[in-house]
Structure formats: C-alpha cells, structure tokens
Structure 1
Amino acid sequence: MATACVCPDATQGVRTCAPDGAGWEPCACAPPASPAPTPAAPPSSATARGTKIAECNELIAVINQGVQNVERREAESDGQVGSGDLRAMADVLDKAAADAARVALTTPELQRFSEEYRAMAKETARATRDLATAVDADDAEGSSVAQTAVERAIQKEDPLVDRINEFCQAH
C-alpha cells in the first residue's frame, strides 16, 4: 500500500507501507531535476512555505496513522463484527480525532482541514457507537439508520483528504 506525501520542496512523494506492516517508510521524494541553485525567496515567504510543508507533513502523518489504526482494527475483527468490535472501532476513531487536535497548526487552511477531519472522525465514532447499541438491542431499524449514518460520515473522508493533498501540493 502506498500513500501520497509532501516532500520538503513541496512536490508530491510516495510513502509505502513498511515491510512488517507496522508503519510507513519515509516519504520517497524525487531528487531535484538540476543542481542549479534556485533564486532565493524573501525570508517570510520561505519561512511560510517551510511551515506549510512541515505542518502538511505532520497533519498527513497523523491522518495516515489514524487510517492505519482503523484498518488494523478492522483486520483484527476477522470479518465478524460484533458490538464490542464496533465500540473498539469508535474508540480508535476518537483517538484519531484527539491525535489530530494535538497537531500544532498555524496555517489557517490546515487548521480548518484539521477541524473538518476531527468532526468527521467524531461523527463516524458516534454513528459507530449508535450501531453497536442497535446491534445489542437487536434493533434492525436502528441498525439500518446507524449504518447509513456511518456511511454518510465516512463519505466525507476521501474528498477531505483530496482537498488536503491539493492544498499541500500547491506551491
């Protein structure tokens, strides 16, 4: 499995899953096309760009770790998902939201993306817990409503990740 990452020069690189499956390899960035020096940007612009890149990388790393934790939790359930598994998944989602909240961001756009991600993760966790409650109560209608809420919350993730990647890859 591979995922996009932002390189120090603001180009897109690729991060692959570690051979043991327990993490990610460092971002693989293409070497510069030529060794010619680039014109110096004004210090404030360079600092802002460097801050943006660092913050993008940190937020993306936290989001990717959250995705890995969710995928790991799903794999542990072996396809047999009970209410306990659903509650454990909701806990993983809450942790992902909390981890994203701890990322110190100064870039306004990234602050908004982080807020959206946290809201999406919390909404998914809440709907997942509702599904667990409905499963415990053997409530078919409640399960259906909760499952729809889970799916609706999850559908927000891909467009959000696309917007984060687009912002982080822009120069």
Structure 2
Amino acid sequence: MHIQEEYSERHVLSLTVSNEAGILARIAGLFTARGYNIDSLTVADITPDHAISRITIVTSGPPKVIDQIIAQLDRLVPVHKVTDLTDNGPFVERELALVKVAGVGEDRIEALRLADVFRAKVVDTTIESFIFEITGTTDKIDNFVALMRQIGLVEVGRTGVVGLIRGKEPN
C-alpha cells in the first residue's frame, strides 16, 4: 500500500483586524497551538484613526491545512477579513532588507557592482563596510544575501513580506 504524501504550498495571507491589545498574540497562538509555522509576519496600521491594521502572514502547508488555517483565523472576533493572496489572483509582494557587508579592495568593488545589478541602494558606508537597502521578492533578497555572504556578509535585517492584490479591488 502506497501512501501519497501531501505537498506543501507557500501562501501569503492578508488579514484586516481591529487594533486590540493581544490580537497578534492570539493569531500567533493559533498557529503555535496547531503546530503551524509562520515564515514571515508583518503588521501595519492602515486607517487614519488607528482602528484597523493589516497583518500579512506567509505560511506553508498542504492545501487542507491552509484551508483550516484560514477558517480558524476567520473565526477570531477581532479579524474582519482573511484573504489568501496566493489563491486570489495576481498580487504584488515585496520585502525590504538591510544588508551589512564588510570588505576592502576588490571585495568592496564587487559588493558595489552586485548591489548595482540588484538595484540595492547604499544607505550607510564606512571605510570597512556598507549597509545596502534592497527591496523585492523574497527570492531576490535571498539571492543577494547569498552572493554577499561570499564577499563578507556581516548582518541582515529583514522586514518580512507585505502584499496587495493587483487592480482596483481592495484586499
């Protein structure tokens, strides 16, 4: 008897929630209690009166698990709406990273050349190092960091993924 393994899919979920104390802990707790992993989580206030925030969560799992996560998030009282951007048609996702690279001589020149190729911006420099700002897809940032690791990567700070549905329909 052959049991077929369920494949894991990466999903970007966008939630609009009331700005209530503890909502982020409740959402994280929902994932933790059920053994689901959060790959990326970002939160931002999106209304002038600070009443509503958007939470973007990147998670992975088989389709049944993703459906279960969405259903459970949708049941939380302060959650207004849960949208699976991955299944909802075309969307734009971006991440920002600050990447510190040390190097002198040829390594310094190579770091600047690669930054130019990746459209990374120098936001700080010293005699010994640069800090680059780069935005793009997670893959783009992963590739930039991997290349900088070979030159003299010191440190990386990343924001996590944010995403919006393309077109005029609100998320």
TM-score, reference length from structure 2: 0.25
| Bigger relative CO (Cα 8 Å, ≥ 6 apart) | 2
* Structure with greater strand percent: 2
TM-score, scaled relative to structure 1: 0.25
